[in-house]
Amino acid sequence: MSTSDQRWFHRRGDLARDGWESVVDENTPGWAHTGIRVADLTATDSLALAPAGVERIVVPLSGSFTVAYFEGADTTTTRLKGRASVFDGPTDVLYLSSAATAVLTGVGRVAIATSPTDVVKPSVHIPASDTPVELRGAGRSSRQVHNFGTPQALDAARLIVCEVITPAENWSSYPPHKHDEHVPGHESRLEEIYYFETAPVAGSDAAAETAFGMFSTYSSPAGEIDINAMVRTGDIALVPFGYHGPAVAAPGYDLYYLNVMAGPDPEREWLISDDPAHAWVRDTWAGQSVDERLPHTNDSNDKEGDR
């Protein structure tokens, strides 16, 4: 791995705090608008989601969870059915308003996307069946995007959240792009977190810990950044500015990442600018088909075998 600043890339466990495997929030140096918490829970564990003044999306990575949340005098309990793994299609998620605090229990691995805000939007449970699934790109740039937390799917205050599955040998977050300038109608300013998971392709005998992908960022006029990293399950990249991409799934291994975005602009918009040197690649997709391995769903993975 090479980086210009060790603040922007963190191996699994480097950001452990208060019972969480990883924590990114406003206390992270150089960070202000987004956050993430990741944990593995057993049947005897519980984790508090507090204080108020932070909107959250609870994303089961593997396993099932119960969230008891409190808004004023009201208490609501929501069961998240979850999924076997991040490579088994969409999961149900829970958006928690900035007026809520909560307690999380269950068995499995979970991510909490966060953003500080005083704006209060209604809490909402989003079933997996209601998650917009997008097949983006074509050919070896094919990937699957679950848009449960984008502006078109969720009425949040600041958070923009989605997850991406990239099959083995494919490229995603490509062409390299940025969102670090406020150009109305063209580009928005958004901090971005990449949380990664990797796994051997279905049916492989490879050990889970051998799975990896690659991720890169580089500088833009907004700031200097340089990440060229081999990524594995639990690793986190922070993108405060600059061009980011590609994220590449190595042969033999599938790649997943959860994107968490928010920024200082008055509008909640996800507007990007491609690196002009590589933007032409999008035009080549017109003559290619989407990778036949997509979409990844619970049904297709059941047919292929367990991970």
Q: What is the pLDDT of residues 123-168, one digit of tens each?
A: 999 999 999 999 999 999 999 999 999 999 999 999 999 999 999 9
pLDDT for 298 equals 64
Averaged pLDDT for residues 71-79: 95
268 phi/psi in degrees, rounded to 5: -85, 90
Strand order in the sheet with 143-149: 9-10, 236-239, 191-200, 253-262, 160-166, 143-149, 133-136
The yes-or-no verdict on residue 302 having pLDDT over 90 is no
Residue in the structure block whose two tokens are 């202000």: 32
pLDDT for 82 equals 98
The yes-or-no verdict on residue 211 having pLDDT over 80 is yes
**Interatomic CA distance for residues 111 and 61, integer angstroms:** 7
The yes-or-no verdict on residue 222 having pLDDT over 90 is yes
247 phi/psi in degrees, rounded to 5: -110, 120
Q: Percent of the chain at pLDDT above 70?
A: 95
Task: Assign a CATH topology to domain 2-283.
Answer: Jelly Rolls (2.60.120)
Averaged pLDDT for residues 42-65: 97
Tokens of 179: 């969102």
**Interatomic CA distance for residues 120 and 132, integer angstroms:** 24
**Cβ contacts of residue 75 below 8 Å, gap of 6+?**
68, 69
For residue 113, the cross-strand partners are 36, 57
**Interatomic CA distance for residues 4 and 226, integer angstroms:** 5
Peptide bond into 29 cis (omega under 30): no
Interval 22-37: pLDDT, tens: 999 999 999 999 999 9
Name the residue among 101, 94, 109, 99 with its Cα closest to residue 40. 109
pTM: 0.95
Peptide bond into 51 cis (omega under 30): yes
Averaged pLDDT for residues 208-231: 97
302 phi/psi in degrees, rounded to 5: -60, -35
**Cβ contacts of residue 57 below 8 Å, gap of 6+?**
93, 94, 95, 96, 112, 113, 148, 149, 154, 156, 159, 161
Q: Is 299 exposed, middle or buried (0-12, 13-18, 19+ CB in 10 A)?
A: exposed
What length is written for the chain? 307
**In degrees, to the nearest 5, what angle opens at C-alpha 78 toward C-alphas 76 and 81?**
180
Averaged pLDDT for residues 265-287: 96
Tokens of 214: 């690659």
141 three-state secondary structure: helix
